Amino acid sequence: MGIMNYAPSALANMFKPPVTTTYPLEPAEYPERSRGHIEIEIDQCIGCGLCVRACPCSTLSVDKLKGTWTIDRFDCIVCGYCVEKCPKNCLYVKQGYQEPGADKSPFTYTKSPEQLAKEEEQRKAIAAKAAAAKKAKEEAEKKKAEEAAKADSADKPVEAKPVETKPAE
């Protein structure tokens, strides 16, 4: 008797369009409010760490010198605070699901070698400029101290030293 209950439904579905999608051939449509996952355009990142401070789950880490940005996707709740706080707008929430992986380790993005070399040159230029400014400041302070010493010596009365005379023989 179970097959007779199913027969009307099966016959009706033969004349209706398919309900399923052709996913591999057409891109999937995600619900409007689906969260997706966090992505970054790493070469635009300045490594300020504001995203790390804004993350309530502590899933992010940034290493400015190595040029790396790491996210632990299994701890991330995709709240979007990091995206809001990013001053360079290099973080964004990508619709859809992340690619599955064999392990649950954090994912690390690394800047390109060209970008790392460019940033290293900028750091060296800033350090050289700061060193030159510090040296100029020290020289100005030294010159000011010398001028103050000259002014102090000019204001003081010259003390007369007693002249020794030899007794007459």
pLDDT for 100: 77
Assess whether pLDDT exceeds 70 at residue 5. yes
Residue 103 tokens read as: 């392990």
What dihedral angle (degrees, nearest 10) is formed by the CA atoms of 116, 118, 122, 123? 20
pLDDT for 10: 85
Q: Tokens 């023989």 identify what position?
A: 169
CATH number of 20-111: 3.30.70.3270
* Whole-number Å distance between alpha carbons of 3 and 5: 5
Residue 51 tokens read as: 């995203």
Mean of pLDDT over the chain: 86
Q: What is the pLDDT of residues 13-27, one digit of tens each?
A: 888 888 777 777 777
Average confidence (pLDDT) over 3-17: 84
Comparison of pLDDT for 128 and 168, the residue scoring more: 128
Q: What is the pLDDT of residues 50-80, one digit of tens each?
A: 999 999 999 999 999 899 999 998 899 999 9
Cα R_g (the chain), whole angstroms: 37
Residue 10 tokens read as: 């099966």
Are 94 and 37 spatial neighbours (Cβ–Cβ below 8 Å)?
yes
The beta strand positions in 27-168, using DSSP E, are 37-40, 60-63, 68-71, 91-94, 107-110
Q: pLDDT category, 158, cuts 50, 70, 90?
A: low
- Pick from 20-29, 35-44, 146-155, 158-167 the range whose average pLDDT is largest: 35-44
Average confidence (pLDDT) over 126-146: 93
Comparison of pLDDT for 145 and 165, the residue scoring more: 145
In b/e form, how buried is each residue of 75-101, taking b as 16+ CB within 10 angstroms? Answer: ebebeebbbebbeeebbeeeeeeeeee
According to DSSP, the β-strands at 60-63 and 91-94 are unpaired
In the chain, domain spans: 20-111, 112-147
Closest listed residue to residue 123, CA positions, set 47, 65, 39: 65
| Residue 51: φ, ψ to 5° | -65, -40
Average confidence (pLDDT) over 77-102: 89
